[in-house]
Structure 1
Amino acid sequence: MRYSLLKVSLCLTVMLDLSAGAPLSAQHWPQFRGPSGQGHAPRSHPPVKFGEEELLQWKTEIPGRGWSSPVIWENEIWVTTAVGDADDPNRLRLGALGLDALSGKILHRTELFVIDHPEPIHDDNSYASPTPVIDERHLFCHFGTFGTAAVDRRTGNVLWKNESLKVEHQGGPGSSPIGYRDLLIVTCDGANAQYVVALRKQDGTQAWIRHRSAPHRPDPITHRAFSTPLLWTDNGEDLLISPAADQVHAYRPESGAEVWHVRYTGFSNVPAPVTHEDLVFVCTGFFEPALAAIRRGGSGDVTQTHVPWFVSRGVSTLPSPIVVSGRIYALNEGGILTCLDCQTGKVIRKRRFVGNYSASPVSAGDKLYFCSEEGKITVLEPNDSLDILQVNRVNGIIKASPAVVGNRFYIRTENHLYCFAEN
């Protein structure tokens, strides 16, 4: 595989990420679905009612196209984007924008990769869909097969690039990277190759790689997956829960060693896993989506021993579920919200929302926020009645999952980045 590395090293040692499950300051939203990777912002209290003319702090136009979520560290917010070349319709420029989180002013515009004749993507996808990872000094951007890069977020300068992680997405990139200590963990589940790889944050070199161990079906199209993994602490030990086509794996994040796996039938899965107590919940993907509960413990193939329940109606293939107070809330792309008991899988209640849904929900304070593709943000009371408190609206398509820091609610549409907050 081709590998290119800019000869620019990070100064001193890369600051280590906090371990899985450790609390982070309410001033950070460092990766896809926030500090926990599960969409929770328990100490945040964003507004319930807001809109284009109400509690709008700022609205900044974002050039290009990208469905990656914003990431935030203190007073900086970053997004990735893909911009067409004005002089060459077959050329694409992939980069990142850094903004002041309080004013919306663009501080940095960093170009990372120039791609000639990029492979086609699905109409619902973008070339900048994976959400970056941010820490005290760095931004780590991943564009799937098109490249991975580190940026000094204080200057906007590129620190290193890695273009070795080649895979046939057949639909475009989707899986977001996650940070673990001094590693950046990247998922590559394509039609031609399926693996998880850890890059060293310091220089982008490979620390470990692990290929999927369970069998796939014969058709290569069913080998693809686009889910983002989750760090989960199991009896004091960190596990990387990594869904793939037809299987989900638990790896040791420091080494890539496999601990266990579960087999199912499903591919092109997008939702990220979520957890509750001793259970992790995984959406299996197309064509018959299901939600599987997997009990921690065990080793090797635990399909027959550690799956206490399996639900196959009303399950999402796009938005990730969210867990609050022993209930799992699963919204499918058609707007059907299902509330289930985490321990038993029993359906408590269902409610239909208007619209189509791609973005994953967030839990902020004691409210749930669901964003539709049509620009509606439904605020829900997380109870068994599924009481709707408010339906807000912005002008634009929403496919990126929102971010929450303090009392601020950030939403990315196809053309703008919004910030809403109480004055």
Structure 2
Amino acid sequence: MPEIRKSTVVLPELFVVLVLSAWSWVVANDGEPNWSRFRGPNGSGVCDLYQFPTQIGPDKIVWQVALDGAGHASPVVRNGRVFVASADPETGRQVLAAYSTENGKLIWQRLLPGEVFPKHAFNSFASSTPALDEKQLYYAWAIPKSLRLIAVAQETGEIVWDKDLGPFVSQHGFGASPILYKDLVILPNEQDGESFIVALDCATGSVRWKTPRKSEKTAYSTPTILRIAGAKDQLILTSWAHGVASLDPLSGTPLWELP
């Protein structure tokens, strides 16, 4: 099993990137960029506001703070705050934290229950990247007895709602990330047990739609929205059981599949 290093958040001057060698994150502080979900705007991985710096070194670091956990979740940024999810590798306890992009000051921290369970050596207990809208943060994590999706107030860290989506069965752990579409937060639950993709109401956490999926090998795909001029939006995701699939993001109705 690889050595687990202490995680850090690093804020250089221009952009958002993961520095693998140090498990460090860098986030823009020039202007007010928003990087609000896994891989940024609609999962594209593209930011048009900044150029990637040609050199990264100590002279580029504005601030650096140590985290209370480790994890593969990406940081997300909105309105001068960077939000980070991590987990204690010894206990599985989840840690959500918000920092100022200006100086790295801790604004709030929220501890969430977790536990240690068998997973792939390359996975972590905090591998799901949060998603942000104007006011709330949405975060998912799993232990064998429950997959949880919560909404947290960005301003205070208070939990707005907490949804238990049932047991999660996998020998490798969890890793999919939630996305937002209109007033819905959408999360795939592709596992060895009962599988489905679900959309919850952002304001209340109530289930707006839930589409069953074939249960096969656990999948870790994060969906994206396909927008084509003159056509309805489509929710696109992949899995071992279905291949590439398209659903109506407002109703969850399957549209097509490419096994």
TM-score, normalised by the number of residues in structure 1: 0.50
The residue number in structure 1 matching 2:245 is 249
Aligned alpha-carbon RMSD (Å):
1.9
Q: What percentage of aligned pairs have identical amino acids?
A: 29
Local SS of the residue matching 1:115: coil
Contact 1:148 1:162 in 2 (8 A): yes
Partner of 2:185: 184
Cα drift, residue 42 of structure 1: 1.4
Aligned counterpart, 1:32: 38
Segments of structure 1 that go 5 or more residues without pairing to the other structure are: 1-24, 264-423
**Aligned position for 2:203:** 202
> What's the offset of the Cα at 1:45?
2.5
Cα deviations across residues 215-274 of structure 1 (Å, max 9, x unaligned)? x7xxx5xx21111111111343211101011412100111101110010xxxxxxxxxxx
What is the CA distance between 1:26 and its match in structure 2? 6.3
Structure 2 unaligned segments of length 5 or more: list them.
1-30
2: CA distance between counterparts of 1:27 and 1:79?
16
Q: Is the CA contact (8 Å cut-off) linking 1:96 and 1:109 kept in structure 2?
A: yes
Kindly indicate whether residue 106 of structure 2 is the aligned counterpart of residue 106 of structure 1.
Answer: yes
The 5-angstrom pairing of residues 9-408 of structure 1 reads: 27-51=33-57, 53-83=58-88, 91-112=91-112, 114-116=113-115, 118-144=116-142, 145-212=146-213, 220=216, 223-234=217-228, 235-246=230-241, 247-263=243-259
CA contact (8 A) 1:26 1:43 kept: no
CA drift at 1:119: 2.7
The one-letter amino acid paired with 1:186 is: L
Name the larger-Rg structure.
1
Asked if the contact 1:133–1:179 (Cα under 8 Å) also holds between the matched residues in 2, the reply is yes
Alpha-carbon distance, 1:193 to partner: 2.3
Deviating 4+ runs (over 6 angstroms)? none
Instruction: Select the structure with the greater relative contact order (CA < 8 A; seq sep ≥ 6).
Output: 1
Query: What amino acid is the match of 1:119?
Result: F
Q: Within 2, Cα distance between the matches of 1:155 and 1:212? A: 36
The number of residue pairs the alignment matches comes to 224
Residue number in structure 2 paired with 1:4: none
Q: Secondary structure at the match of 1:29?
A: coil
TM-score normalised by L of structure 2: 0.81
Report the alpha carbon displacement of residue 46 of structure 1 after superposing the two structures with TM.
4.0
* Cα distance change on mapping 1:135 and 1:159 into 2, 3 Å: same
